[in-house]
Amino acid sequence: MQTINASIITIGDELLIGQTIDTNSAYIAQELNKIGIWMRRRVAVGDVYNDIWKALDEEGSHSQIVIITGGLGPTADDITKPLLCNYFGGTLVVNEKVLAHVKHLFEVVFRRPGPILERNLKQAEVPDVCTVLFNERGTAPGMLFTKPNAAPDAPPTLFFSLPGVPHEMKGLMNKEVIPAILKAFHMPAIVHRTSVTFGQGESMIAEMLKDFEAGLPDTVKLAYLPNYGIVKLRLTGRGNTTDEANQLVEPLFQQLQELVKESLVSNHDEGLESVVGNILLKKGKTMGTAESCTGGYIAHLITSRRGSSAYYKGSVISYANEIKEHLLGVSPQTLTTAGAVSEETVQQMVKGALSELNTDYALVTSGIMGPDGGSDEKPVGTVWVAAGTRLPDGNLHIETLQLHLRFDRMRNISMTANHALNFLRKFILRY
């Protein structure tokens, strides 16, 4: 079975110093993997001529596909295009189609006053040894270069140079890069199956699966993907055809789910907000949230999912005690005696949320996210979560959960959200 390997080279000092987060590599890797390409390496280099040249040599020596992002802008530090021209032995020439596109963007779309700057017009210059990849979303065209392979009868190595702007890169990946790769290579099939677990640490899950993992065939790999209480388990199988890969992976995936069934949340690659949403859709029920310490983060997760308006009505961001009191009906005495971070308070918040939002279910949070605000009695990371619903007999049923977290503020918020959503998931399944 032929394996097609790819490397990604991201260019820019801003990536190395952490000023810009590299989301391009993740997207590129996902899109390549969908068509059966195995990612071999990801390399980040600064705006240094010799470093970029060396990276091209190294990645081109062991990958059939090299994708480069960044360094194609109109400023002096954008050196990728002239470097590639030298690397592949070309001469910069004006591409008339790109030039017309640049003029159209500045004169018609952007409507910039005054003449177009020379540095913008020079975006239309490309090496005469490349195939131009038309960038309809921006001024910097993509470029495809080929380099003969030392192995006899092997196809040439493909070097794709793409702009670093994510929106532009994605357009070129979908319309230019993927079709060019599919034309150049006969691709093996790669299939993924992902289970989502919650509540067990990565090491515990790995211990449960050690015999299963040891017995996997060479063409199937198991990956552990932990994140804020969640551990995703991804089985990846390779075959000559999709049917062959599916037949290999599917029985193993069923076995995997059985082994982790006590902590299994989903047999699809999805977040807890999607799991909860699917359950609500199936039941034909609605929910709302009342958030204090999470400040609307749970609402953000839920509404990030397309179609959430079918089951999610809204939220009360009751960050201040006066909002808990005046909008959710929390007793002033409760806030004084038990405090905002207490079981009594979240129980009353649920009652108020169910009433004010008129939903079938309510999920609420109140806690201390840090780094300040804790006490000996209630240290930073103390959180109360509650979920409630109205039973068929008309009575309210409310359940609570206390968390003791130990992380920084943002991780405490994320952990609280995931714990709360999983708590609600189990609550809805019972009631």
At 238, which CATH number?
3.30.70.2860
Are residues 243 and 178 located together in one domain of the fold?
Answer: no
| pLDDT for the residue 91 | 96
Phi, psi of 349 (to 5 degrees): -65, -40
Instruction: Domain of residue 322: give its range.
Output: 272-430
Residues in the chain: 431
Are residues 354 and 307 located together in one domain of the fold?
Answer: yes
3-state secondary structure 202-256: HHHHHHHCHHHHHCCCCCEEEEEEEECCEEEEEEEEEECCHHHHHHHHHHHHHHH
Per residue in 192-213, pLDDT (tens digit) is 999 999 999 999 999 999 999 9
Contacts with 260 (C-beta within 8 Å, 6 or more apart), sequence order: 195, 197, 200, 205, 208, 209, 233
d(CA 346, CA 97): 62
Are residues 180 and 196 located together in one domain of the fold?
Answer: no
Q: What is the residue-wise DSSP string for 347-399?
A: HHHHHHHHHHHT-SEEEEEEE--SSS---SSS-TTEEEEEEEEE-TTS-EEEE
0.95 cut: is pTM over it? no
Q: Is the pLDDT of residue 76 over 80?
A: no
Are residues 393 and 302 located together in one domain of the fold?
Answer: yes
Per residue in 338-378, pLDDT (tens digit) is 999 999 999 999 999 999 999 999 999 999 999 999 999 99
Are residues 157 and 257 located together in one domain of the fold?
Answer: no
Say how many domains are in the chain. 3
Are residues 204 and 284 located together in one domain of the fold?
Answer: no
Are residues 174 and 222 located together in one domain of the fold?
Answer: no
Q: Is the pLDDT of residue 8 over 90?
A: yes
Helix axes 49-62, 80-87, angle to 10 degrees: 50
DSSP state of 313: E
CA angle 278, 280, 285 (to 5 degrees): 155
Whether the Cβ atoms of residue 363 and residue 420 lie closer than 8 Å to each other: yes
Are residues 238 and 178 located together in one domain of the fold?
Answer: no
- The last residue of one of the domains, among 247, 266, 285, is 266
| pLDDT for the residue 240 | 86
Phi, psi of 75 (to 5 degrees): -95, 170
- The last residue of one of the domains, among 250, 266, 282, is 266
Are residues 41 and 90 located together in one domain of the fold?
Answer: yes
d(CA 94, CA 339): 70
Tokens of 137: 């979303």
Whether the Cβ atoms of residue 68 and residue 6 lie closer than 8 Å to each other: no
- Residue showing tokens 């103390």: 382
When pLDDT is cut at 50, 70 and 90, the band that residue 1 belongs to is low
Are residues 177 and 284 located together in one domain of the fold?
Answer: no
Q: Is the pLDDT of residue 264 over 90?
A: yes
- The last residue of one of the domains, among 208, 241, 266, is 266
- Residue showing tokens 């959960």: 401
Are residues 135 and 199 located together in one domain of the fold?
Answer: no
Are residues 133 and 116 located together in one domain of the fold?
Answer: yes
DSSP state of 116: P
Give per-residue burial for 269-297: e unless 16+ CB within 10 Å, then b. Answer: ebbbbbbbbbbbeeeeebbbbbbbbbeeb
Per residue in 87-133, pLDDT (tens digit) is 999 999 999 999 888 888 888 888 878 788 888 888 889 999 999 99
